[in-house]
A and B are shown apart, each in its own frame.
Chain A
Amino acid sequence: MKKRRTLLIILGVLVVAAAAMYGIGWLLFPDSPTTVFTAQMHIPRPKPEVIIRIHLGSLEIPITNTAFSSFFAMLVLVIIVLLVRRSINRRSEEERIRNPHGVQNVAEWAMEYLINLLEGAAGTERIKKRPLGRMIFPLVATLFIFIIFANWFSLVPGFSTIVVAPPEAAEHHEAVPVEGHGDTAAQEHETEGHGTERVLWFFGHGSEEPAPLLRAPNSHLAITAGMAVIAVVVVQVLGTMKHGAVGYLKHLATDAPGAMKGIMFPIHIISELSHVISLSARLFGNLYGGDVLLAVIFNLLAPLIPALFLGIEAFFYYIQALLFSVLTTVYIAMAVGGGHHEEEAHAAQ
């Protein structure tokens, strides 16, 4: 029976994996070999930890682990794109068009999926005589690719588990009291010497609790708020481009069905502000909640069951990336829309 054989093989692999883990546990921790079966994950705080401090004279630039992860994700993305580009450029023009193969096929599928998504969400709006979907594709597709890649990257083993000792803040050095004691004065000079000699502070003295080296970039409210602010500012800019400055204000005031015209202006202003909050809080809440959920699940359950939650979170992270970009497109389409009176005027001529 083929089914029975596959089942036995799967069972055998699981038993061998468990035995190997126990063996490694016995090698590393001879007196408590089952330590490898429990994961002591660090449940993250909403405020991310600073792991690198760059001192340039009196200026200090702290870099959090979320920012570090986002730089890392961007670097990997750039490398992937360059590799894809190189492998596509190797083929001749004809081969590329007539027989897309391998990496080119995947890239084309991804881009087609994104442009269909955006053109579907943007509808039939036009801006500067071009379809809206194509016009906003660079920005919104970038948001989508960054969000989904950063989110999925955070499910790779190693995120939130590799910990480092965070460097102390410069305030700790200045906080030493300037009293007339000989030894305190010597200590102060010593720590000041440390602060001014080294420019880059990784992995400091470890007086604070250990911090994970890598953390999901979107689990930092600042990063999601940055993207949300960019999206909403672009909405206003495109609305102004389409309707003109006065026209856009009129559009905000009167774009409502029937009897509500004229009093919609404050409501629209507030709803634009709430778009910033909703976009950023939605992404942050999902990512941070996902991090906490995974940390707790890995802490509570056996080594194999949490894999299910990794899969669930992967699906939800995809949904969040999709939602962010589609909502941005919908907001832009609503701000740019309502140009029907202009189109009628053109058609009448």
Chain B
Amino acid sequence: MESINEIKRDTLSALLASGKRPDNRGMHDYRPITVQSGMMQNPDGAAIATIGKSQVMAGIKFDVATPFPDRPTEGVLSTSADLLPLASHLFETGPPSDESIELARVVDRGIRSSNIIDLNSFFLAEAKVLALYIDIFVLDHDGNLIDCSALAAMAALLSTRMPKIEGGKIIRGEFSGKLPLKGKVVTSTFGKLGERYFLDPSLDEEAGMDCRLTLATTEKHLCAGQKGGWGTVSERDIMTMLDIANEKAKELRALLPE
């Protein structure tokens, strides 16, 4: 694999130097994106997002749980990601990989720190709160799984119905309105090779690039960030990428359901 990645890196590097990408996209263009939501009956919310040939499903479930001891009145938010072995020949069965844990945590941080979900409203009674589980199921891997997963998770949250609660228990299949949300979080991920950076790296580009930078944004703020890979980014890179991310975020939000 290493030798193939070296060849990919050289090819990608030569292309980028002439201002081009392998699929002729502009440096700040996403591949085609689709979002569909609300097509499942058993989860409390669900969505599938695709970016290029990457496909991710997100499912939402509520349970009754015990709050964390240091936050006794706050609900629990938990995000997991499964890189399903059917999604890519690169994924294997077995315990969660470093990549899947990073993916889940980056998506989680964007949603958590944006405060779009009011976890205090999940308080039910002494030592009893609602737990909201976001499960990210990667179905097809063609690069930029972070943006695709964040989009699926956000679309799933937007389709989520609040469970009906009686006597401290969830009545399954009955709901009490939509999950209140105070905004839409989206992420924009850039790849960087040498001095050049490009939005929405494909799997081919990921194999050749030095590093990536993900910026999660709300309508007003930057709410999470993650650099991955061995390469470096400069302060100026980060600032420019944030400007581009804020512009692109408008396009991504427009694709999400209301």
The answer to whether A and B assemble together is no
Interface residues of A (CB under 8 A from B): none
